[in-house]
């Protein structure tokens, strides 16, 4: 229930736990990258890990919206059972796709003919990708169970699952480093898969109460959910997720055709991990705004004021890192990059300091459109953003022979800024018509 008046302090109290959960997950990437950077052949393995992780993002993206589907659709026993069949079938299908992708002839064709990956990182990438075989299914299963937890008001259990995931990931990475000679890229993907599998198991156990409540409830004959209705509901969600999550893989693959390709691929996961830590502050704000906007967007003004402050603080904090010796400390001492790669990473990072602020604005815009059920604008904007980034990257790489990472940084900033401009008009109209 939203109060009649909403203060900045109240928004802050609501936002902090969600931001903490997002920030906890944002630490995953920098942690893995820091480990790989301290192992042999760090440059090549960081590049290979980035490419393998990009594959993983693409393959998991159709399954991530099982959380939203479960939250909305699991109303009774019949709907739960239908959704469970759909979700488990989707997880099985994605697993088959991964198996096909890691099949050597298929992978070699994708890596060579399509992506033009350098020869020195192809075998490392393939070995790392093998350890992501359980990744999409584990992601889909735990998102489905998390949706059930959220629907039954057990939101804190989602954060508990994230804590178990990070602990398992860190423990697995440590064991592999200490007791095996596994390449760094494989250490990273193995640890990621282990963490997600543990989180999926924990989420399943924590969701048992919700499952029992659904299974023992009424069949819901008056509101029976068919498989066709499930598919029709889910396809737009999956497409939106694929567009949103497709940006990083697309950038990674296109940089494979650029100048200084190995260096660009090596530093991209490190730079992206650092910027994501600050962008997560804004990404978490979308859930806050959706929950607190209220009827007819009565609390839009205090949320806008909070968003402005959050945007300025998030980008300012990243700027402090990017434009001070803290950048060298982070890249070299914390992340473990060589001095050469550290110097290479600083310039694109400085271009990307505005991304956290733009992410806050985007979260506010999306919350307005979601609340007013104008979701088509979100899908169109996401499509336009990824096309813009792809076009700018292609021009930078193929027309100007620019360094891949610099082209990527510029394209990501311009693409996000244009998306913010695109959504300004539908948000204004939604506010006027509310």
Q: Domain check: are 121 and 48 in the same one?
A: yes
| Predicted TM-score (pTM) above 0.85 | no
Is 380 a domain residue?
yes
pLDDT string in tens for the chain (434-residue length): 444 578 888 889 878 877 877 887 788 888 998 999 999 999 999 999 999 998 998 899 999 888 878 877 888 888 899 999 999 999 999 999 999 999 999 999 999 888 888 899 999 999 999 999 999 999 999 989 988 887 787 767 877 888 899 999 999 999 999 999 999 999 999 999 999 999 999 999 999 988 888 887 655 445 678 898 888 878 877 887 788 788 888 998 898 888 899 999 999 989 998 999 999 988 888 877 877 887 788 889 999 999 999 999 999 999 999 999 999 999 999 999 999 999 999 999 999 999 999 999 998 998 888 777 677 788 888 889 999 999 999 999 999 999 999 999 999 999 999 999 999 999 998 876 65
Q: Domain check: are 290 and 302 in the same one?
A: yes
Is 326 a domain residue?
yes
Is 31 a domain residue?
no
Q: Domain check: are 184 and 87 in the same one?
A: yes
Rounded (5°) CA angle 376-377-382: 100
| Last-in-domain residue among 201, 222, 245 | 245
Find out whether 118 and 261 touch, Cβ atoms under 8 Å.
yes
- Tell me what pLDDT residue 222 has: 52
84/101 Cα distance (integer angstroms): 26
Q: Domain check: are 139 and 233 in the same one?
A: yes
Burial of 177 (0-12, 13-18, 19+ CB in 10 A): middle
The dihedrals phi and psi of 310, each to the nearest 5 degrees, come to -60, -40
Name the domain count of the chain: 2
Q: Domain check: are 97 and 237 in the same one?
A: yes
Q: Indicate left, alpha or beta for 293 from its phi (over 0: left) and psi (-120 to 50: alpha).
A: alpha
Is 30 a domain residue?
no
Burial of 261 (0-12, 13-18, 19+ CB in 10 A): buried
Q: Domain check: are 328 and 381 in the same one?
A: yes
Q: Domain check: are 101 and 202 in the same one?
A: yes
Q: Domain check: are 227 and 259 in the same one?
A: no
Q: Domain check: are 230 and 357 in the same one?
A: no
Q: Domain check: are 264 and 368 in the same one?
A: yes
- Tell me what pLDDT residue 361 has: 95
Is 335 a domain residue?
yes
Q: Domain check: are 342 and 319 in the same one?
A: yes
- Tell me what pLDDT residue 221 has: 47
| Last-in-domain residue among 210, 245, 280 | 245
Q: Indicate left, alpha or beta for 412 from its phi (over 0: left) and psi (-120 to 50: alpha).
A: alpha
Is 28 a domain residue?
no
- Tell me what pLDDT residue 223 has: 61
- Tell me what pLDDT residue 5 has: 73
Is 127 a domain residue?
yes
The token duo for 171 is 């423990």
Is 29 a domain residue?
no
| Last-in-domain residue among 206, 228, 245 | 245
Q: Residue 369 sits in which domain range?
A: 1-20+246-434
Q: Domain check: are 253 and 168 in the same one?
A: no
């Amino acid at each position: 229930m939203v109060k009649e008046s909403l203060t900045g302090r109240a928004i802050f109290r609501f936002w902090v736990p969600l931001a903490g959960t997002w920030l906890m997950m944002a630490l995953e990437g920098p942690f893995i990258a820091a480990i790989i950077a301290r192992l042999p052949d760090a440059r090549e393995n960081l590049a290979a890990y980035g490419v393998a992780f990009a594959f993983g993002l693409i393959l998991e993206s159709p399954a991530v919206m099982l959380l939203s589907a479960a939250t909305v659709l699991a109303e009774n026993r019949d709907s739960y059972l239908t959704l469970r069949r759909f979700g488990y079938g989707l997880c099985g299908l994605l697993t088959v796709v991964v198996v096909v992708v890691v099949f050597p002839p298929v992978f070699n064709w994708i890596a060579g003919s399509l992506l033009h990956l350098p020869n020195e990182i192809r075998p490392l990438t393939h070995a790392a990708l093998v350890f992501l075989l359980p990744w999409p299914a584990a992601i889909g299963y735990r998102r489905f169970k998390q949706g059930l937890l959220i629907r039954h008001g057990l939101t804190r259990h989602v954060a508990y699952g994230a804590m178990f995931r990070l602990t398992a990931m860190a423990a697995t990475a440590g064991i592999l480093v200490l007791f095996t000679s596994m390449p760094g890229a494989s250490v990273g993907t193995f640890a990621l898969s282990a963490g997600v599998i543990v989180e999926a198991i924990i989420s399943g156990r924590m969701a048992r109460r919700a499952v029992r409540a659904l299974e023992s409830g009424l069949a819901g004959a008056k509101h029976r959910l068919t498989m066709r209705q499930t598919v029709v509901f889910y396809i737009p969600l999956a497409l939106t997720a694929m567009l949103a999550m497709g940006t990083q893989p697309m950038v990674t693959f296109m940089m494979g055709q650029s100048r200084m390709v190995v260096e660009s691929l090596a530093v991209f996961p490190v730079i992206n991990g650092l910027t994501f830590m600050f962008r997560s502050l804004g990404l978490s704000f979308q859930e806050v705004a959706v929950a607190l906007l209220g009827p007819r967007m009565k609390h839009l003004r205090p949320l806008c004021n909070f968003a402005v402050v959050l945007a300025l603080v998030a980008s300012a904090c990243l700027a402090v890192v990017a434009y001070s010796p803290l950048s060298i400390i982070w890249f070299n001492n914390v992340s473990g990059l060589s001095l050469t790669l550290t110097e290479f990473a600083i310039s694109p990072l400085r271009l990307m300091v505005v991304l956290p602020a733009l992410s806050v604005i985007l979260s506010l815009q999306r919350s307005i459109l979601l609340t007013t059920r104008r979701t088509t604008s979100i899908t169109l904007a996401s499509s336009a953003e990824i096309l813009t980034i792809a076009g700018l990257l292609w021009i930078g790489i193929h027309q100007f022979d620019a360094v891949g990472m610099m082209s990527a940084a510029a394209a990501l900033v311009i693409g996000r800024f244009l998306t913010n401009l695109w959504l300004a008009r539908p948000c204004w109209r939604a506010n006027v018509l509310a």
